[in-house]
């Protein structure tokens, strides 16, 4: 049985707690562009998952439940959870295991119910990461950003690559195993999720596809899905205003549903986020 670890984290703002969880190979800095707007409405907790950033390493055999247990200690009686990619799987595991702690779920660039071809593709990426981590990291950055965006912000693409390359290799592989299999583990359990749930992804994301977001929206009771056009994987960096608007609208709806009162949300400066998926 895995023992939970104390995660490196930082807190900004005041109000209802909002916990942000990053993807595999990244760290809490991926939320920097979303942070100012989110911290104007919430007490935002940015955490490094086990095996990432300044948190302790992830050993071989680390489980999705263990990553979720680590995060539970940060929820302090309840929080809105926002998870990106691997972080979205961790957030779902928490909603299943500790529903009393989860006020709402926002699943950013999530994976869900992979097909056989999709499972094969992610297994091949894991094999390449074990054999040549540098080449695997460069291919990931190429896959995550549109060429136009990468040409416009080459320094950001380089920073993401540097973060990937600085991740402990053994921890990366242990967490990638979770990322590769976690959606199959969770899929039978998702109809039992009671937290208000939003799934949001980029319309051009080849790995966390719009179809996956539609599957999640249909699988979780009351789930909603949004597809942001002309965007790939890293919504928090490529489309931070659109993503922050979607998160704040969702946490506001959840607060209103829970209390019947008007939630504290700052004025929106971004109009439509994308196309909402029908269920």
**28-73 confidence digits (pLDDT tens):** 999 999 999 999 999 999 999 999 999 999 999 999 999 999 999 8
- Bridge partners (DSSP) of residue 202 are 228
- Bridge partners (DSSP) of residue 107 are 83, 199
User: Domain for residue 3, yes or no?
Assistant: no
CA distance 259 to 173: 42
Q: What is the CATH number of the domain that holds 43?
A: 3.40.50.1820
* pLDDT computed for residue 191 by the predictor: 97
User: Domain for residue 197, yes or no?
Assistant: yes
- In order along its 279 residues, the chain shows pLDDT tens digits of 467 789 999 999 999 999 999 999 999 999 999 999 999 999 999 999 999 999 999 999 999 999 999 999 899 889 999 999 999 999 999 999 999 999 999 999 999 999 999 999 999 999 999 999 999 999 999 999 888 888 999 999 999 999 999 999 999 999 999 999 999 999 999 999 999 999 999 999 999 999 999 999 999 999 999 999 999 999 999 999 999 999 999 999 998 887 765 444 443 333 345 666 544
User: Domain for residue 30, yes or no?
Assistant: yes
End-to-end alpha-carbon separation of the chain, Å?
38
| Torsion (CA) 87, 99, 65, 106 in degrees, nearest 10 | -10
User: Domain for residue 1, yes or no?
Assistant: no
| Torsion (CA) 227, 110, 78, 103 in degrees, nearest 10 | 40
Only one residue has tokens 């209390």, namely 259
Only one residue has tokens 């009162």, namely 261
User: Domain for residue 2, yes or no?
Assistant: no
Beta carbons within 10 angstroms of residue 155's beta carbon: 7
Please say whether the beta carbons of 126 and 180 come within 8 A. yes
As for how many domains the chain has, the answer is 1
The domain of 132 spans 9-277
User: Domain for residue 149, yes or no?
Assistant: yes
User: Domain for residue 4, yes or no?
Assistant: no
* pLDDT computed for residue 260 by the predictor: 61
* pLDDT computed for residue 279 by the predictor: 41
């Amino acid at each position: 049985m895995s023992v939970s670890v104390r995660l490196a984290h930082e807190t900004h703002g005041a109000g209802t707690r909002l916990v942000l969880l990053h993807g595999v190979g990244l760290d809490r800095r991926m939320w920097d562009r979303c942070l100012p707007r989110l911290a104007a409405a919430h007490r935002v907790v940015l955490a490094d998952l086990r095996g990432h950033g300044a948190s302790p390493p992830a050993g071989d055999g680390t489980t999705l439940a263990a990553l979720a247990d680590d995060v539970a200690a940060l929820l302090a009686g309840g929080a809105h959870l926002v998870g990106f990619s691997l972080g979205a799987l961790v957030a779902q595991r928490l909603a299943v295991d500790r529903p009393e702690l989860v006020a709402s779920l926002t699943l950013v660039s999530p994976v869900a119910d992979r097909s056989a071809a999709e499972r094969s593709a992610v297994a091949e990426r894991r094999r390449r990461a074990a054999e040549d981590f540098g080449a695997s990291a460069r291919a990931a950055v190429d896959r995550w950003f549109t060429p136009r965006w990468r040409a416009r912000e080459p320094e950001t693409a380089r920073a993401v690559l540097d973060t990937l390359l600085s991740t402990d290799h053994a921890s990366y592989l242990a967490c990638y195993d979770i990322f590769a299999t976690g959606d199959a583990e969770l899929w039978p359990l998702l109809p039992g999720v009671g937290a208000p749930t939003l799934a949001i992804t980029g319309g051009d994301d080849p790995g966390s596809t719009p179809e996956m977001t539609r599957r999640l929206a249909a699988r979780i009771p009351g789930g909603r899905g949004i597809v942001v056009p002309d965007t790939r994987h890293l919504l928090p960096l490529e489309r931070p205003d659109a993503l922050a608007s979607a998160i704040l609208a969702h946490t506001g709806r959840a607060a209103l549903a829970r209390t019947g009162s008007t939630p504290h949300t700052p004025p929106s400066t971004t109009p439509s986020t994308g196309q909402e998926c029908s269920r």
